[in-house]
Amino acid sequence: MDKKYKVGYTAGVFDLFHYGHLNLIKRAKERCDYLIVAVSTDELVKEYKNTVPVIPYEERKAIVESIRYVDQVVPQINRDKIAAYENYHFDVMFVGDDWQGSEVFEKVDSYMRARGGCVEYLPYTQNVSSTTLRGVLNKIYSGEEENVRL
């Protein structure tokens, strides 16, 4: 089966790696021949989320590198998607459809379309997120909940 794009790109923190992360990566790879995945550095996460990832960067990077759908893992040191496009020369940027309509991705899509690329929105996996997992873990370890389940 011919893929729609040659080179695809997606980015994320990928902390507490879960099925939603895998869905995004798998769906992206189904659409392109070569998939680049940018993993946010600990410093970047601390800068914009004011928190430190549970899993350190090198370990998150190793997890993502081990996924068969991923061809290359790169560090995401800033959130400048246009700079990433200029640096890695991909045809498409894959993001979850929860970002559709956001000003930042509308701007990136416009920039990429003027140069032959685009942003493609993939279905967001409902009912799972690293934020939810972190909350559940906090409840378990604080003793608030004995039988917590996602």
20-33 pLDDT per residue, tens: 899 999 999 999 99
Per-residue pLDDT at 128 exceeds 70: no
- pTM of the prediction? 0.85
pLDDT of the residue at 51: 86
Residues 61, 131: Cα–Cα separation, whole Å = 19
Residues 134, 49: Cα–Cα separation, whole Å = 14
Look at the alpha carbons of 61, 39, 43, 52 in this order and tell me if their dihedral is positive or negative.
negative
CATH fold for the domain made of 5-124 = Rossmann fold (3.40.50)
